[in-house]
Structure 1
Amino acid sequence: MEKKKFKLGLVSKLVIAIVVGIILGSMKFIPPSALRVLITLSSLFGEFLNFIIPLMIIGFVVKGIAELSSGAGKLLGITAFTAYCSTLVAGSLAFFVATNFFPKFITPDLIEKVKGNVEPLTPYFKINLTPMLDVTSAIVFAFIMGLSISWLRSKNRGEVLYELFDDFEAIITNVLNKVIIPLLPLFIAGNFSNMSYTGSVFSVLSVFWKVFLIVIILHLIYVSLMFIVSGTYAGKNPFMLIKNQVNGYMTAIGTQSSAATIPVNIKCAEKNGVSEDIRNFVIPLCATIHLAGSMITITSCSVAVLLMNGIPFTFATVFGFIAMLGIAMVAAPGAPGGAIMSALPFLPMVGISTEIMQQLMITLYLTQDSFGTAANVSGDNAIAVFVDKLYSKKNKGEKVEEVL
């Protein structure tokens, strides 16, 4: 019997990268010239990341929107509207919690320490890898193509284009899984070695664990509220619904993928008494479009990074950012780390524009990505309970399969 090979997860690799980066940056006998080699490699990866992001937007968003044509108009509308509203509410809740709690430990003194005692090291060289499209062009193109393919498919056409972008999404996902995700620890190690060199790293870490804790608590509170609301509306015991979701939650933590958790999540919906046709439609769809957990994390991390850098912001600015991400991140959580990669182009909307600030965002997000995914998929089942009850009320006597 063959022994299973031990394999480190992404979070473990990131933690190791953070530790290695801190050690390398703090060792006085390592000359800055040697550290700059690591920082140069990290910078080159950053350039490649900026190159691939517009292609990621096209790969994820086009297919995500195009696939919406395959569902019933009424059922699709109810589910999509509910999922999007949930995403907006989750992001808004995270904003108000973050703005009220984070300033208690992100103080003016700490902001000064985050700036460091010396100037950060710079890479030896850059290759100036220019993206094929800028982010705005990629978004516009993705929406035009997605909506157009959706329209063509409603007329029994457009399958060739759909297959083309389906394959393109598979390519982008493969690049994400084989290049971006494996090299992220190098990227993070370079970032933390630079922060360690400047003397700001421990101030940053003192913020990290507190943000991490608050975000996970927020996930659990928000998902519980979703089950309480949907369970009460559907006349079901919310605490039994939460209990039935534990298996799906733990699976999502292990896989870090909404898509990979779909089969288990459908089983959870079955235990919750959701009708077969509704659960088979709502759960896979929400795995693509419901982003409450990811939005809580990204909004909280954004507020933390803005406070750490002393950048002013308002709810109106951040809400526009949340509303845009609710659409732009469609299908991205299906791949580990996909949500934050899709969010990177929109960070300048709230003032997170420098490479170091974006590196902080990536690190903050990825260290708890699995918990955000678990919140996403758990919320999917709460939506399924709600939609099942709402749809049965609106369509008494009409079979779901006839509508689908």
Structure 2
Amino acid sequence: GILVWALLLGVALKHAPASTKTMITDFSDGLSQIVRWVIHLAPFGIMGLVFNSIATSGLASLLQYGKLLGLLLGAMAFMALVVNPIIAFIMMRQNPYPLVFRCLKRSGITAFFTRSSAANIPVNMELCEELGLDKDMYSVSIPLGATINMAGAAITISVLTLAAVHTLGIQVDFGTALILSILSAVSACGASGVAGGSLLLIPLACSLFGIPNEVAMQVVGVGFVIGVIQDSVETGLNSSTDALFTAVAEFAQWRREGKKIVINKEVNL
């Protein structure tokens, strides 16, 4: 309901005076700053959660965090190295891995350390220029992708929500899991651009299973515990995919026009 009203409000205010738009922008920036404050203070709360968990369950509880982190990283690796190449192959009808690996190397590694898709926009723009893409196209798709292309965030929301569901002993059928995946993908489009922003959408996904906010926020706390690695890999996947699919879309057009696709000097597709 909130997302629908937000969309309707955005359409209604499309022709609002500049002063109104400025006020809304300032209000949005203020909310983003509050989110940053919360995330910056989160380590203190996480320290308490970890201490309580270790005091209750012992050091063995840390192993469970490791398993969860491994699952998240495995799912993201599967997306980057299997799902994305399949989509790219369907569009280009040629070996997609030279392009996939170049995007991961140039964009993904940088995004891994910045942990911000927005901060990685200049890197993706430069990569698109090196690939010889149309500037009129990638100057729109790259900033747009940095905002709404959140495959890694969708994985994080889905996996952590299902982890909470499994812990509570709730049975999940395939249809419900599919709905959760769709909900996560749509919700991820509105994820905050700050580090760890996707974790704040977990309570929304947990509400699908009737999980109270108190429990959902504990899941968010677990996410912050593993967030240093998880969020870095998530951002790397998100940002590299922006460049990848921008290139794939244009290369698919080149293929239809009979033009030769050149990824770099060493690899010709």
TM-score in terms of structure 1 length: 0.56
Deviation at 1:333, TM superposition (A): 4.3
| Kept after mapping to 2: 8 A contact 1:258/1:377 | yes
Q: What amino acid is the match of 2:109?
A: M
* Cα distance in 2 between the residues matched to 1:340 and 1:163: 28
- Aligned pairs for 1:138-287 (under 5 A) are 138-149=2-13, 152-153=14-15, 159-177=18-36, 179-197=37-55, 199-200=56-57, 202-225=59-82, 226-230=84-88, 233-234=91-92, 237-245=95-103, 246-287=105-146
Equivalences for 1:2-401 in 2 at 5 Å? Answer: 136=1, 138-149=2-13, 152-153=14-15, 159-177=18-36, 179-197=37-55, 199-200=56-57, 202-225=59-82, 226-230=84-88, 233-234=91-92, 237-245=95-103, 246-364=105-223, 366-367=227-228, 368-390=230-252
1:208–1:364 contact (8 Å) kept in structure 2: no
Task: Give the drift of 1:378.
Answer: 1.4
Taking a change above 3 Å as real, the CA distance of residues 218 and 346 of structure 1, as seen in their structure-2 partners, is: closer
Contact 1:259 1:284 in 2 (8 A): yes
Deviations 1:34-53 (A, max 9, x none): xxxxxxxxxxxxxxxxxxxx
Distance (Å, rounded) in 1 between the aligned partners of 2:175 and 2:58: 31
User: How has the CA–CA distance of structure 1 residues 253 and 148 changed in structure 2, closer, same or farther, with 3 Å as cutoff?
Assistant: same
CA 1:254–1:371: 2 relative to 1, 3 Å: same
Q: Which has the larger radius of gyration?
A: 1
State how far apart, in whole Å, the 1-side matches of 2:202 and 2:11 are.
21
Letter in 2 for 1:211: L
User: In structure 2, the residue corresponding to 1:334 is in which secondary structure?
Assistant: coil
Aligned-residue offset at 1:200: 2.7
Percent identity, aligned pairs only, is 25
Q: Is the 8 A contact 1:262 1:287 kept in 2?
A: yes
SS in 2 for 1:144: helix
Given that 2:206 and 2:216 are in contact with CA atoms closer than 8 Å, whether structure 1 keeps it comes out as no
* Count of paired positions: 253
Are the structure 2 counterparts of residues 354 and 285 from structure 1 closer, same or farther at C-alpha, using a change threshold of 3 Å?
A: closer
Q: From the superposition, tell whether residues 250 and 223 of structure 1 become closer, same or farther in structure 2 (CA, over 3 Å).
A: same
Q: CA deviation at 1:228?
A: 4.7
**CA distance in structure 1 between the partners assigned to 2:256 and 2:212 by the alignment:** 47
Distance 2:20 2:253 in 1: 32
Contact 1:232 1:238 in 2 (8 A): no
**1:287 and 1:331 in contact (8 A); partners too:** no
Instruction: Name the aligned partner's letter for residue 308 of structure 1.
Output: T
Gaps of 5+ in 2: 258-269
| CA RMSD, Structure 1 to Structure 2 (Å) | 2.8
**Separation (CA, whole Å) in 2 of partners of 1:315 and 1:361:** 24
Aligned-partner residue type, residue 388 of structure 1: E
Conserved 8 A contact 1:244-1:271: no
Aligned amino acid, residue 179 of structure 2: G
Q: Structure 2 CA distance, aligned partners of 1:328 and 1:356?
A: 19
Whichever residue aligns with residue 314 of structure 1, its letter is: D
Task: Please list the CA deviations of residues 279-324 of structure 1 after superposition, one character each: whole Å capped at 9, or x if unmatched.
Answer: 1111110111111111112211222222223222233233333333
Give how far 1:359 is off: 1.8
Contact kept, 8 Å, 1:305 with 1:360, in 2: the verdict is yes
Secondary structure of the residue that 1:257 maps to in structure 2? Answer: coil
- What is the deviation of 1:254? 1.2
Q: 2:164 touches 2:219 (CA, 8 Å); kept in 1?
A: yes
Secondary structure at the aligned position of 2:223 is classed as helix
CA change 1:162–1:330 in 2 (3 A) is farther
- Taking the aligned partners of 1:309 and 1:329, their CA distance within structure 2 comes to 24
CA distance 1:274–1:182, shift in 2 (3 Å): same
Deviation at 1:229, TM superposition (A): 3.1
Q: Distance in 2 between matches of 1:166 and 1:392?
A: 39
Letter in 2 for 1:338: G
Q: Return the alpha-carbon distance in structure 2 between the equivalents of residues 202 and 390 of structure 1.
A: 51
Separation in 1 of the partners of 2:114 and 2:41?
19
